[in-house]
Amino acid sequence: MAEVARFDIQRFVQLSRAVDLSDLDWQAAAHHGISDDERRILRYMADTEAHTILYLRDLLAGHTAHDPEVTAFLACWVYEETHHGIALDRFLAEVGYPSSKNQYTRVAAGAAFAEEVEAFLSQSAAKLTPHFAAAHMAWGALNEATAAAAYTALARTTGNPELAKLVTKLARDERRHYSFYYHQADMRLRAHPLARFLCRSALNLFWGPVGIGVGGTREVIELIFARFFSDREGRAEIDRIEAQIRALPGQSAFSKLSQARDRSLRGNHAMASITGVAHRLRFPQEAVSGEQRRRDFA
């Protein structure tokens, strides 16, 4: 297997910054508005990004806390991801959907029990052996790749040009993060068979779409797969990401991502037949502008 090109951590740190919002036209964003589906998806994305710091505790458990390259990356990563959440929160507020004052606390308190169990197990494994870090890195690569894909798909499908501009910036950051995680996973998986076994076991037993235990519900995950990854182009993108994970040493049987897609699409179709969601997915909703929402509630 050919080695992945080395990640330049010094350059990454030097270029790290909060997402630039200076070129966004907030009045235009409010004028164009967003659909109800976009509102639900953006709320999930904002909550997931804002709670990135909850995952930092897992990534710094055990031996990775002593790796200067990993800690330098994570310091920048959590800063950038936190500002993704801030940017999405501001966008939602500008188009008429502000978050509640206690949004962060409420979402953090509602984290699924399964999320806590997984955190305990991963932290324990990370303290026992340095080879579990490979699982954390592969997991991170998978989450960053799917986040970038979702942002890119939203940019392509939204009728709000300012939203497209914003999420394109976020997707660019997620791809930078993916590059680090993937390089680290590849390097660590090559180093030891125990790393390959632990990574394979962790992904197959515990991986699920990012944010599902924090801000995401099953219905929102199904909506994202239905809107962005149900057509030929979307399915191909999921297959491409999964192929990249399978290319990592010892992970050739990984299929949890396509399984999650297929399960979500089945669930979405079943719900559509009952509630009429199918009509909304086929005929996109008319976006409601922030200006209109403010008039409605005046």
Burial of 20 (0-12, 13-18, 19+ CB in 10 A): exposed
With 90 as the cut, is the pLDDT of residue 228 above it? yes
Q: What's the pLDDT tens digit per position in 230-289?
A: 999 999 999 999 999 999 999 999 999 999 899 888 876 554 443 444 445 444 555 666
- Find the mean pLDDT for residues 164-186: 97
With 90 as the cut, is the pLDDT of residue 109 above it? no
Q: What's the pLDDT tens digit per position in 49-84?
A: 988 888 887 788 777 888 999 999 999 999 999 999
Under a CB-based contact definition with an 8 Å cutoff, are residues 150 and 17 in contact? no
Sequence-separated (6 or more) residues with CB below 8 Å from residue 279: none
Give this prediction's pTM.
Answer: 0.85
List the structure tokens of 204: 């197959």
Domains (ranges, CATH) in the chain?
34-292 (1.20.1260)
Q: What's the pLDDT tens digit per position in 75-105?
A: 999 999 999 999 999 999 999 999 887 776 6
**What pLDDT, on the 0 to 100 scale, is given for residue 226?**
95
